[in-house]
Amino acid sequence: MLRHLLSLTDITPAELHDWLKLALEIKAEFKQGIERPVLRGKTLAMLFTKASLRTRVSFEMGMRQLGGHALYIGPEEVKLGKRETAGDVARTLSRYTHGIMARVYAHSDIVELARHASVPVINGLSDTEHPCQALADVMTIMERFGDLRGVNVAFIGDANNVARSLVYAVTMLGGHIVLGTPPGYQLPADAAARAEAYARQTGGSMVQIANPASAVEDADVIYTDVWVSMGQESEETIRKSVFPPYQVNDQLLKGARPNAMVMHCLPATRGLELSAEVMDGPQSAVWDQAENRLHAQKAVLVNLMGGG
């Protein structure tokens, strides 16, 4: 059956558990030099309208390590929605490849690609969600705590696409998440309702508050992201005036549990949302997150493109 990963809501909590278990197995095998070439002979089209380091390299290397191939298609080669419609691009790539990963601005482009594709479509980032990042994030938390149940996560800053996917992942796994966000930058109502529904199902919780110091109380994990994402450049001045109280720094860290893990999906703007001292400090897990993109996405590729 054809399946896509446009949002974490496309899989069940039980499937999320299974995918993460596979990701951890794949990582352990990789560390031992054990190959898993289950996608030999298969090709992933990587369609980008938005710049990337981690998404491109992790998917390309992931396909290679699974025995397959990845093809990079940059913004100027397609000009999605201008030179060709998303539907026509999807129909064409479906005839050439076994899967499509797209990193785009508008979530509607991902939806349109999936609507017309006859191969799996994976959301490598859209303005609404970043499911692959969330998979790597909760994988990183699991490596530290073994499980998400009973773990307190604080997300500080703008409740953006990364926050939405993280909230879904944490509540799907029975974890507790508090979003410390300025008024006007909270999680959209539909996303909050979805997360609350997952929390009721799994025993987790989701709360939104404005005070960052209160948000990190009892936190085992503190997560932050950029204040100005790609596509929000016109809002840069106002955002940089709103978010300084939400910087994750040594002072904020003192309010969390001892040795709380600090996370950031990268790229980070050192000295804005995250101080350099904390980013490079002993509690930082940002490089573990970046590494886990590779292995979490391999689990996605195996489940959607065959061999698993």
**Would you please indicate which residues are annotated as catalytic (active-site) residues?**
103, 130, 133, 225, 265, 293
Neighbouring CB atoms inside 10 A of 234's CB total 9
For 10-19, b where at least 16 C-beta lie within 10 A, e where not — what string?
A: ebebeebbeb
Residue ranges with strand state E in the chain: 43-48, 69-73, 99-103, 121-125, 152-156, 176-180, 205-209, 221-224, 261-264
Complete edge-to-edge strand list for the sheet that includes strand 121-125: 69-73, 43-48, 99-103, 121-125
Neighbouring CB atoms inside 10 A of 2's CB total 10
Residue 47 sits at φ, ψ, to 5 deg, of -100, 120
Strand partners, 264: 224
- Rg from Cα positions in the chain: 19
**How far, in Å, CA of 190 to CA of 291, rounded?**
31
Taking each helix axis from N to C terminus, what angle separates 161-172 and 131-145, rounded to the nearest 10 degrees? Answer: 50
Complete edge-to-edge strand list for the sheet that includes strand 221-224: 205-209, 176-180, 152-156, 221-224, 261-264
* 8 Å CB contact between 127 and 161: yes
Helix, strand, coil percentages (3-state) for the chain, rounded to 5, are: 45, 15, 35
Bin 270: left if φ > 0, else alpha if -120 < ψ < 50, else beta.
Answer: beta
Neighbouring CB atoms inside 10 A of 31's CB total 9
The first and second tokens of residue 59, run together, are: 């998917």
